[in-house]
Homo-oligomer: A and B are copies of this chain.
Amino acid sequence: MSDHPLKQLIKAADEAITAKDFDSLMEFYADDATLVVKPGLNASGKDQIRKAFVAIAAHFKNQLKVRQGRMEVIEGADTALVIMETLLDTGDGNEPIVRHATYIFRKSETDGWLCAVDNSYGTSILDA
């Protein structure tokens, strides 16, 4: 799946997180998207999602770097389920945090692919 258009899109979104360019980052989300900030705490809509990313950046003392690992994309009915290894370098000198993330993207003729649900915790939210 290395050539799927969503790979480049998610790479650009991760670079926006790393650069703390939250205006660009918001362009990847549907207006009424949902971000899982942490298990049990969701941010809904671009205003809440933007505020959550500002808070996450501050939490990591603006040192957070996000990278992609392995990735699979399963498309169906104008949606895509992205299963992805996400590596978080937190700038503390330790090994990166590795998450197995799950994202929903929706495709429309007017807007292309937009993120509808961003759950970087994957199936681990069942254990929270």
Show the binding face of A for B, using Cβ within 8 Å: 30-34, 36, 42, 44, 70-72, 74-81, 83-85, 100-102, 104, 106, 114, 116-119, 122-123, 125-126
Contact = CB atoms under 8 A, between A and B. Distances in A.
A75 B72 CA distance: 21
Contact of A76 (B30, B77, B126): B30
SS of A interface (majority): strand
Oligomer copy total:
2
B79 A117 contact: yes
Contacts of A123: 83, 100-102, 122-123
Name which of A74, A77, A85, A101 has the most chain B CB atoms within 10 A of its CB: A77
Contacts of A106: 77-79
Contacts of A76: 30, 32-34, 44, 104, 116-118
A117 B34 contact: no
A125 B72 contact: yes
A112 to B, nearest CB: 14
A18 B30 CA distance: 37
Contacts of A122: 83, 102, 122-123
B83 A126 contact: yes
